[in-house]
């Protein structure tokens, strides 16, 4: 695609198309997910996310796909270098099979990952989780892992994921200056979560088994322990749930549970920190709001279907 200045518009269509994840909204229900139909994406500003993405983090997305009628590699997420439009990090739906994602680092296809329980053409929701763990070896290197639902399907060699001043994009390959945009996702995004720590495999499994929950009141029969390893070391029984204090690592939460269409995607993580769950706001909670953009002639919809 040649470079061009994108004249974006924000359109939130209420028309009803009965296919995939698009469905009718009744008067007594809220929306649950955002339906991307091509030519649209969600954008998070680098100033809000780069400190997290350059450290240990976890990014989770409940996402569905549509039947694929093109050979375009549809983008689930991307961070694009604004200088040359190269891919710093990207996940793309593989064009040849319906159960795979292509992983790109530094403009290179690193691996095509697949999972037998994944099928992008069915419209069902799956949890895609990206974790980054700092090696703490005096370098900026991290180990990146990718989970599809509760299966770890990828683990990188040590890599320096330097996102710089580039925005985080969900649903498109778009640079920060919006002079380049392509490879748009088609399907639904139900919920996005950003944590400032790398979640464990056990925590991710908990989210699969409890898709509407972030955590629960304690992890062991003794409430002072907060993870599987600590429970076992203390001789306690692991109950598969997590301490409220884990919510302090939740720095971004976007649920799309609206009763009217929105183009401004409000971060709900700070509200979670102020629930009556024993967690108090430490004064450092900052909203990370996103924005929905569309190319001219394209629109997005909201749906009541979700997890």
Across the strands, what pairs with 63?
126, 189
Considering only residues 166 and 141, tell me which one the structure prediction assigns the higher pLDDT.
166
**Helical (H) or strand (E) element with 88:** strand 87-93
Tokens of 105: 């680092």
Can you name the residues that pair with 135 across neighbouring β-strands? none
Give the integer Cα–Cα distance in Å for 8 and 143.
36
> Is the predicted pLDDT of residue 196 greater than 70, yes or no?
yes
Read off the pLDDT of residues 233-251 as tens digits, 9 standing for 90 and up: 655 554 544 456 788 899 9
C-alpha to C-alpha distance for 34 and 148, rounded to whole angstroms: 20
pLDDT grade for 215, boundaries at 50, 70 and 90: confident
Strand, coil or helix: what is 213?
Answer: coil
Q: Is 70 exceeded by the pLDDT of residue 29?
A: no
Structure tokens at 102: 């292509």
Taking domain 12-22+34-209+250-303, whether its CATH number is 3.40.50.10490 is answered by no
134 vs 16, higher pLDDT:
134
152-185: pLDDT as tens digits: 999 999 998 889 999 999 999 999 999 999 999 9
* Contacts for 233 with CB less than 8 Å, ≥ 6 apart: none
Higher per-residue pLDDT: 135 or 288: 288
User: Does the structure show a pLDDT above 80 at 16?
Assistant: no
Q: Is the pLDDT of residue 269 over 60?
A: yes
Q: Per mean pLDDT, which range of 75-84, 87-96, 213-222 is the poorest?
A: 213-222
C-alpha distance across the termini of the chain, in Å: 35
Confidence of residue 273 (pLDDT cuts 50, 70, 90): low
1-5, 23-27, 258-262 — most confident range: 258-262
Confidence band for 151, pLDDT divided at 50, 70 and 90: very high
Would you tell me how many other CB atoms lie within 10 Å of the CB of residue 259? 12
DSSP, res 26 = P
What is the rounded average pLDDT of the residues 259-281?
Answer: 71
Question: CA 143 to CA 132: how far, in whole Å?
Answer: 6
The enclosing H or E element of 208 equals: helix 201-209
- What integer is the mean pLDDT of 220-244? 53
Contact at 8 Å (CB) between 304 and 22? no
Return the minimum-mean-pLDDT range out of 60-69, 73-82, 255-264, 270-279: 270-279
* pLDDT band of 191, cuts 50, 70, 90: very high
Of the two residues 275 and 85, the one the predictor is more confident about is 85
Would you place residue 30 in the very low, low, confident or very high pLDDT band (cuts 50, 70, 90)? confident
52, 130 Cβ separation under 8 angstroms? no
Please say whether the beta carbons of 233 and 224 come within 8 A: no
**Average pLDDT taken over every residue of the chain:** 82
Lowest mean pLDDT among 9-18, 41-50, 166-175, 201-210: 9-18
Domain positions in the chain are: 12-22+34-209+250-303
Q: What is the pLDDT of residue 137?
A: 77
Residue 250 is predicted with a pLDDT of: 92
Count of H-run helices and E-run strands, the chain: 4, 19
Cα torsion 180, 183, 187, 190 to 10°: value is -50
Calculate mean pLDDT across residues 253-265: 89
- Report helix, strand or coil for 249: helix
Question: How far is the CA of 126 from the CAs of 19, 140, 189, in angstroms?
Answer: 18, 31, 10
Q: Between the CA atoms of 151, 152, 154 and 159, what dihedral angle is there, to the nearest 10 degrees?
A: 150
How is residue 8 written in tokens? 């974006």
């Amino acid at each position: 695609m040649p470079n061009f200045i994108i004249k974006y518009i924000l359109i939130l269509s209420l028309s009803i198309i009965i296919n995939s994840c698009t469905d009718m909204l009744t008067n007594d229900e809220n929306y649950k997910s955002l339906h991307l139909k091509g030519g649209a994406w969600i954008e998070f500003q680098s100033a809000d996310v780069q400190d997290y993405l350059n450290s240990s983090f976890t990014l989770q997305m409940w996402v569905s796909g549509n039947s694929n009628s093109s050979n375009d590699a549809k983008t689930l997420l991307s961070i694009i270098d604004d200088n040359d439009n190269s891919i710093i990090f990207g996940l793309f739906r593989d064009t040849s099979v319906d159960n795979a994602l292509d992983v790109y680092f530094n403009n290179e296809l690193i691996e095509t990952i697949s999972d037998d329980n994944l099928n992008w053409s069915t419209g069902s929701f799956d949890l895609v989780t990206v974790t980054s763990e700092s090696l703490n070896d005096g370098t900026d290197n991290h180990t990146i892992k990718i989970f599809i639902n509760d299966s770890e399907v990828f683990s990188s060699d040590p890599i320096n994921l330097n996102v710089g001043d580039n925005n985080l994009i969900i649903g498109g390959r778009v640079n920060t200056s919006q002079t380049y945009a392509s490879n748009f996702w088609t399907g639904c995004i139900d919920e996005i979560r950003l944590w400032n720590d790398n979640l464990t495999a056990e925590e991710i499994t908990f989210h699969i088994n409890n898709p509407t929950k972030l955590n629960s009141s304690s992890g062991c029969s003794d409430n002072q322990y907060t993870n599987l390893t600590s429970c076992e070391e203390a001789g306690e029984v692991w109950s598969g749930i997590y301490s409220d204090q884990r919510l302090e690592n939740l720095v971004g939460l976007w649920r799309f549970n609206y009763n009217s269409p929105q183009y401004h995607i409000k971060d709900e993580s700070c509200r979670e920190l102020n629930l009556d769950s024993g967690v108090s706001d430490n004064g450092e909670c900052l909203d990370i709001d996103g924005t929905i953009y569309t190319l001219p002639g394209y629109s997005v919809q909201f749906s009541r279907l979700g997890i």
